[in-house]
Structure 1
């Protein structure tokens, strides 16, 4: 672990802040930057950071996936330095960013944090994934190994092609989205039969280790359906990727699942502001 490295952080929301806190605990000099009064004065210091972790919003809006904030802040990274994008980004974005900034080595490391347990999630990760532009480039792989050592060690660590890293995050979030929607559909079926008890079925399903307890609650965070900022925007971005790839039948399936989920959320008043941000009025 080379603690002579200086690590910069662009974005101090719950992702950027908790990564900065933990990496500082690990003995590294860090520079925090965002556009608030507390850290805005550190803007010019980022050029001297060896590695800069980017954790800024990548919203999905009615116009589609938006990586413009990531694109803009990468201009703050010094020449021949390394940028690690923690923000969730669509398939092919890392390659496009490297084309935009050829003097920076831009990598993608998806985060798997939960807002309420973010600090512990950073300190004790289950996975560290790091995607690079060319997995067959030995020099780039060595740089990725240096980056990997900055983060707390995980039982599973992977340096891979950037496109793999991008889809690992979407694959996880979209799988849980499907799981939540299916449990809501199952609940609707159960409600049509007096002798069937959802709690009993839920418990028995959860005891199957292939299923587990996560994402089995029909009522969660104020309503039904797969809600929360990440699930809503990431599933819509996934549909966008299917459309761009020409996978029309697969897109149709996901759009049907999305529409069922929107029915559950809107009928129970769940996350109206988040839905407005992604889908408009």
Structure 2
């Protein structure tokens, strides 16, 4: 794991070499966290007062983040981390400090967060990075139907078997019972039979590579037949994985474009059940899972 502490220069031309060096440094296949004073904002919404930043400087910074495949670490509290300390209309604030990370870092800490602490002697807010390696659940996991299941031969057989089972009641009550049974059956089937698409893809890719290595050393009709059959099966699982990613990230263009599964999966992990703080109408902040859960229940009870 790599942690880079950044202190960027004031002149945007001087920062360009830093952006270039960091992008090259980020080519290492390691979890990477960057934090510190980047001395530039991404857009005018990240400042209050003061002179506008140069558009080319903000564009350089955003291009660096995109080129490095970096993501913003979610933050809480006041995002305007810097203040010039002047009085009256000359006073200005800006978000010069932040934390960025790559997808591999999110694999380790899917709930990483950034808190801007109160400024004291410095004109910059201290940065506190919180690391969590698991999701906090506030109840049972939600059942989600996966479109990719329909491409598997066993899927329709399971649906048919569940639907043919007898049930008491009639009309909508009977339908509800069948759907509940089907949900339970699909959960078990997905866990025990269908499995994780990534594991199937990895296994089949290794099998293809092994077969092609054997063919390079000594040709065999049986090995060639097995390689071709494995490639067909691999193609099916790759299509299922594309379907899963498209359904999960809800990006319409992904149906026609190239799937960057690592990037989008990282985004989904970061956002899924990622309620780490809650701000109430009276201005109070809640940060513990117990307090957030209690307040959420109280809020919806008022509608009853």
- TM-score normalised by the chain length of structure 1: 0.28
Greater RCO (CA < 8 Å, at least 6 residues apart): 1
- TM-score normalised by the chain length of structure 2: 0.26
